[in-house]
Structure 1
Amino acid sequence: MWQHLKLSSLGVIDSAELELDSGFTVITGETGAGKTMVVTALGLLRGDRADLGLVRHGAERASVSASITVPEATDVERSVTAAGGELDGDVVVLGRVLSAQGRSRAVAGGATVPAALLTTLTDELLAVHGQSDQHRLLRPAAQRAALDHLAGDALQKVLDEYVPAFTRWKEIETELSALRDHARERAQELEMLKHGLEEVAAVEPVPGEEEELRAEEGRLAHAEALVRAATTAHALLTADDDGTDARTLVASATAALQEAAGHDDGLDDLAGRVREIGILLDEVGADLGSYSAGVEMDPARLSVVQERLAALTSLQRRYGPSLEDVLEWSRVSEARVHSLDHDDDTITALEAERDQLLPSLRDLAERLGEIRRETAGRLAELTEAELAQLSMPSAQLHVEVSTSEELRAHGCDDVELLFAANNGAPPRPLAKGASGGELSRLMLALEVVLADRTSVPTLVFDEVDAGIGGRAAVEVGRRLSRLAEHAQVLAVTHLPQVAAFADHHFHVAKDDDGQVTSSTVRRLPDHERVDELARMLAGQDDSAAAQEHARELLDLAERS
């Protein structure tokens, strides 16, 4: 339920707040006062396109916001949370801000969100019926939806089986089509992959071997230089014949320091460090001798290593850039080859699954058609009864259900509403057989018929009573009041007969000081409703006759 609606600098309305309640609420006011701005505000909260002209002249921005109680059965909380917003208990706050420069911002649960999200959220919270919305009833999908709505659980139970089966059937058909249409491309891909895998298999690369091979290549290619360097260093450290090698010199230094040992701690420490150098020289010299003896000078091995590196480099150019990438490409390609090699098996399996699924899908579609045809007469009968109460006693509604061979998301049925306003007139499609006023009453009649099955908690009617008067207007008010037993109903109306049936009454008043026009919205207490109804009846609220008629209307509504 919509609890609170706030408007600021929107059109002629400078500022207004509406505390909304359950039941039937009407909004009335003189022509041009701005009562439809309330519906415009709801449209903005539904994600409608932002119009720069809606910002009040002289204002920097216009804003609308609403607090709405969220029913448990909706996905509103999940969607708001996913967008970064949050609910206050079971209440979500939606908002829209329009700047005078043409920018707009949408808010849900305190988070800035795309305007399209407001559309998604409010589809579950609000349904608006205006003179422009009547044209939805002309669409085949909307006509089928009305019939399905009346069919209720019986149809929904079959749809719950049909929809997933249809979805899987479509997936199979799409996959089979792709497999058949691109057979040549897949054959070429298979050949290319197999050739690549053969190249990789011929080389048999091993993870990490490239680094080892490059290190070995470096040693083999520079073996002579390595031996020469190690031998020279060994001789300088430990094997000089004239006693000038490093090890002999360090030994002499150690002996000289030993002669003064024990007289000074600092010199003794230095002597110890010189001895350590001698030990280290012995170890390094021995290691250099071993290294020189162990260096391999093998041109044949060098050739083998270089050929192996060339083979790995060739693979990397084709399938790399690194050896790890080559190995990953090989792994993925093997899986792809396995898949392509078994396309025929896949096609056979998919065709078998499709052939098994199709009979049950056809059976479910036939059951959907049977339920729709059974419901069609009931929808026509109930709607005609409502139309008769709306001063259309001769109106006839025919609900035609035709079935095709084509499987679709909702079955194989096409639903069309045919309408005749008078006896003797042939029923015609709504687009050709119903005027704007007749469409208004037909839509209202359908809403009443489907009222106890509606899942939308709030219904808004924007002057759908245009072109209606007298007894028909009374019946419109009575039916809107009846709808309010199942949902929160808001109606913008110019008819006192409709307004009299409201549980709550808001009045939009216009003030023009000659320079600026502004409007205010306020809830009318019961004692002021007579004056407003009198104004709507006679154009003046102080007419005794009009006030008496207004009281009669209120009494009539109270007794209904």
Structure 2
Amino acid sequence: MVDEVRIQGLGVIDEAVLDLSPGFNVVTGETGAGKTMVVTSLGLLFGGRADPRRVRPGADRASVEGRIVVDAGGRAAERVEEAGGELDDEHVLIVTRSVSAEGRSRAFLGGRSVPVSVLINLADDLIAVHGQSDQQRLLQSARQRGALDRYAGSALTKPMRAYTAAYQRHRQVTALLDELTTRARERAQEAEMLRFGLEEIEKVDPKDGEDVALAAEEERLGHADALRGAADTAHEALLGDAAAAFEAANVTNLLGQARNALDTVRDHDPELAALADRLAEAGYLVSDVGTDLASYAESVDADPARLAVVQERRAELTALIRKYGAAEGTVGAVLEWARASAARLTELEGDDDRIEELRAEHAELAGRLAAEAGELTAVRAAAAERFGAAVTAELTALMMPHARVEIAVTQAADYGPHGLDEVEVLLAPHPGSPALPLHKGASGGELSRVMLAIEVVFAGADPVPTFVFDEVDAGVGGKAAVEIGRRLARLARNAQVIVVTHLPQVAAFADQHLVVEKSDDGTVTSSGVTALDREGRVRELSRMLAGLEDSELGRAHAEELLELAARER
């Protein structure tokens, strides 16, 4: 629901605030006062075309700001969140649109700058505008089908659920069949490539971690002489050469001498005794290292034959890694590729059986889909007949007694998410005239009345928080005007209705009456918007009836209209 609209520099309006209420809001005023700018401002808020010619002369820009109360859990709130905007604590959305005199347009939604397209999408959930050039909502084919479905109600729920399940599975099966059959050559090539790779890996038979172990072995075999010589030298330095004719100085002997020197006096100082113990430990450690060095030197053997085998094996593994494990560069990656490829090959080799199964399921689903779509068509056709009769009856009361509305339910070329049906509202405005789509079958004034009749019939079936009607009363008066007012009031029981009118019979039914007033200093016209009390409404209705605000006859007629409308409401 639109709570408030602030307008600046738009057309003849210098600055104005529209305080709108729930229910039926009517906007009136003298010709040229700027009533249409009210509808224009709402259109701008919801993505209407930014026309720089609408900017008030002398102003840099025109701007419109709206406060809109939205359902915190509804689709509109989701759209705001998706766009990065926010609602305030009272679930109020602030929408701002500005148009510069040069034609630049900016839009803000919930405090966030957004493209105008976001406002257009948001409008679908918040407002329906019906005017001479704004009959957009129910002119959309998808809207007409969706509205008819909601009008059909619970009768459509079960068949739609069954159709949706069949349709979704049918699409899945169709996509799988297309992939399996149209890409048969590609899949065969993929299978052949996988077989070749798996056979190549199986022939080499790599083991996880083998590449690391072989690299270390090759490094050792390639430097066997240097490794053995270093171990012998280190062993001799630590333990000496047992084959030497005399005992040369080595680390073990030197440590023994140092420990013996301390042992002779260790009883005299505990600190020195601790150092002697540490020397003893060092001696044991050096002796162990020396022994291990001797064992290592004996184990190292230059083996050219083994080195050649290791190098050849590493070359085989490197070739595999380059082809199948390049991402990680290890034998483990090769083995992982082999596991994944074996699973994929099993899947590819089972395609023939899978294709036969899918074809059988596809045929069964096609039958189900046709049956479910047929049931949807039957329900829609019945609802369309009731709908056409209801709207035609409404048009009779709106001074279009010979008009006839039909809902054409035709078959599309292929199944869609909602069935085979295409839905279109058709109007035959006169006896003998063919029923044509709404945008072709009615004049502007007739179209507004058709839209009003449709909205009244659809009320509750195709819910939208706010309806805006401009020129809905074009070309009518008298009893027809009263009927228009009565139906707008009926529509306002379930939604907010904003109407720009010149008919007092319509204005009398409003819950809130706003008047656009103009002042003229001889050069520039400035308009503002005022909410009327009871006395103000009598004066405005009298002006609309008789052209004179204080005419006794006009005032009496105005009082009578207000009383009639109050009884009707």
TM-score (norm 2): 0.85
Looking at structure 2, the residues matched to 536 and 205 of structure 1 have their Cα atoms a distance apart, in angstroms, of 97
Counterparts of residues 425-464 of structure 1 (less than 5 Å): 425-464=433-472
Looking at structure 1, the residues matched to 54 and 228 of structure 2 have their Cα atoms a distance apart, in angstroms, of 90
What SS does structure 2 have at the residue aligned with 1:453? coil
Q: 1:227 Cα shift?
A: 0.6
Looking at structure 1, the residues matched to 263 and 54 of structure 2 have their Cα atoms a distance apart, in angstroms, of 104
Which stretch shows the higher mean deviation, 499-508 or 406-415?
Answer: 406-415
Counterparts of residues 26-41 of structure 1 (less than 5 Å): 26-31=26-31, 33-41=33-41
Q: Which amino acid aligns with 2:165?
A: P
Counterparts of residues 65-76 of structure 1 (less than 5 Å): 65-70=66-71, 74-76=74-76
Q: 1:173 Cα shift?
A: 2.2
Looking at structure 1, the residues matched to 50 and 441 of structure 2 have their Cα atoms a distance apart, in angstroms, of 34
What do the CA deviations read for 1:268-325 (whole angstroms, capped 9, x no partner)? 5554444443333222211211211222433333223222222222122222222243
Looking at structure 1, the residues matched to 38 and 62 of structure 2 have their Cα atoms a distance apart, in angstroms, of 17
Aligned to 2:253: 248
Residue 11 (1) aligns with residue 16 (2): no
Looking at structure 2, the residues matched to 142 and 153 of structure 1 have their Cα atoms a distance apart, in angstroms, of 18
Q: Tell me: CA distance 1:238–1:194, structure 2 relative to 1, closer, same or farther (3 Å).
A: same
Aligned to 1:310: 315
Q: 1:231 Cα shift?
A: 0.3
Q: Percent identity?
A: 49
Looking at structure 2, the residues matched to 421 and 358 of structure 1 have their Cα atoms a distance apart, in angstroms, of 41
Q: 1:502 Cα shift?
A: 0.5
Q: Which amino acid aligns with 1:127?
A: A
Q: Tell me: CA distance 1:444–1:300, structure 2 relative to 1, closer, same or farther (3 Å).
A: same
Aligned residues: 557
Which stretch shows the higher mean deviation, 210-219 or 36-45?
Answer: 36-45
Q: Which amino acid aligns with 1:203?
A: V
Q: Tell me: CA distance 1:20–1:538, structure 2 relative to 1, closer, same or farther (3 Å).
A: same
Give yes or no for contact 1:243–1:249 (8 Å, CA) kept in 2.
Answer: no
Aligned to 1:293: 298
Q: Tell me: CA distance 1:254–1:217, structure 2 relative to 1, closer, same or farther (3 Å).
A: same
Counterparts of residues 104-123 of structure 1 (less than 5 Å): 104=106, 106-108=108-110, 122-123=123-124
Aligned to 2:223: 222
Q: Tell me: CA distance 1:121–1:289, structure 2 relative to 1, closer, same or farther (3 Å).
A: same
Corresponding residue to 1:331 among 315, 323, 339: 339
Q: 1:480 Cα shift?
A: 0.5
Q: Tell me: CA distance 1:135–1:490, structure 2 relative to 1, closer, same or farther (3 Å).
A: closer
Q: Which amino acid aligns with 1:7?
A: R
Give yes or no for contact 2:459–2:491 (8 Å, CA) kept in 1.
Answer: yes
Q: 1:538 Cα shift?
A: 5.2
Q: Which amino acid aligns with 2:235?
A: H
TM-score (norm 1): 0.86
Looking at structure 2, the residues matched to 404 and 384 of structure 1 have their Cα atoms a distance apart, in angstroms, of 26
Looking at structure 2, the residues matched to 307 and 114 of structure 1 have their Cα atoms a distance apart, in angstroms, of 65
Q: 1:226 Cα shift?
A: 0.6
Q: Tell me: CA distance 1:98–1:212, structure 2 relative to 1, closer, same or farther (3 Å).
A: farther
Give yes or no for contact 2:70–2:76 (8 Å, CA) kept in 1.
Answer: no
Give yes or no for contact 2:239–2:287 (8 Å, CA) kept in 1.
Answer: yes
Aligned to 2:359: 351
Q: Which amino acid aligns with 2:28?
A: T
Q: Which runs of 5+ in 2 are unaligned?
A: none
Q: Tell me: CA distance 1:311–1:553, structure 2 relative to 1, closer, same or farther (3 Å).
A: same
Looking at structure 2, the residues matched to 478 and 59 of structure 1 have their Cα atoms a distance apart, in angstroms, of 42
Which stretch shows the higher mean deviation, 17-26 or 233-242?
Answer: 17-26
Aligned to 1:277: 282
Q: Which amino acid aligns with 2:289?
A: V
Q: Which runs of 5+ in 1 are unaligned?
A: none
Looking at structure 1, the residues matched to 325 and 116 of structure 2 have their Cα atoms a distance apart, in angstroms, of 46
Looking at structure 2, the residues matched to 248 and 514 of structure 1 have their Cα atoms a distance apart, in angstroms, of 123
Aligned to 1:410: 418
Q: 1:53 Cα shift?
A: 7.5
What do the CA deviations read for 1:93-143 (whole angstroms, capped 9, x no partner)? 3433658695745434x7777766655555334333333332554554444
Q: 1:473 Cα shift?
A: 2.7
Aligned to 1:205: 206
What SS does structure 2 have at the residue aligned with 1:507? strand
Looking at structure 2, the residues matched to 399 and 85 of structure 1 have their Cα atoms a distance apart, in angstroms, of 39
Give yes or no for contact 1:45–1:94 (8 Å, CA) kept in 2.
Answer: no
